[in-house]
Amino acid sequence: AQSVTQLDSQVPVFEEAPVELRCNYSSSVSVYLFWYVQYPNQGLQLLLKYLSGSTLVKGINGFEAEFNKSQTSFHLRKPSVHISDTAEYFCAVSKGSNYKLTFGKGTLLTVNP
């Protein structure tokens, strides 16, 4: 069974600092990878996705992620964060013909002034 590990449960940063949220997955087959964001008391919103092709994926709100097959990682980055980026971020994987989306446990990003 596939699994997703988000290495940090909480990441505090100051405004305008860079941030990296780490995600590793386990799967022996090709996968599709996603990052979702959840603002307080809201549902999940798709931030970006990797399906195939270029390993550097750009998403909304200035976020980007890099797929590294050899390290089975899909880390999320932003060069300069804003207060409004404070939210919980979930990494997720969908495998080949499998119909299930497996989520990590989430990383709470807190941006302080």
Partner 1 sequence: NAGVTQTPKFQVLKTGQSMTLQCAQDMNHEYMSWYRQDPGMGLRLIHYSVGAGITDQGEVPNGYNVSRSTTEDFPLRLLSAAPSQTSVYFCASSYSSQGVGGYTFGSGTRLTVV
Footprint on this chain of partner 1 (rule: CB under 8 A): 4, 9, 32, 34, 36, 42-46, 49, 51, 90, 94, 96-106
Beta strands in the chain (DSSP E): 3-6, 10-14, 19-21, 23-26, 31-38, 44-50, 56-58, 64-68, 73-78, 87-95, 101-103, 107-112
Rounded CA separation 23/72 (Å): 9
CB of 11 to partner 1, least distance (A): 15
Quick one: 45 or 80, whose CB is closer to partner 1?
A: 45
CB of 16 to partner 1, least distance (A): 29
Quick one: 100 or 113, whose CB is closer to partner 1?
A: 100
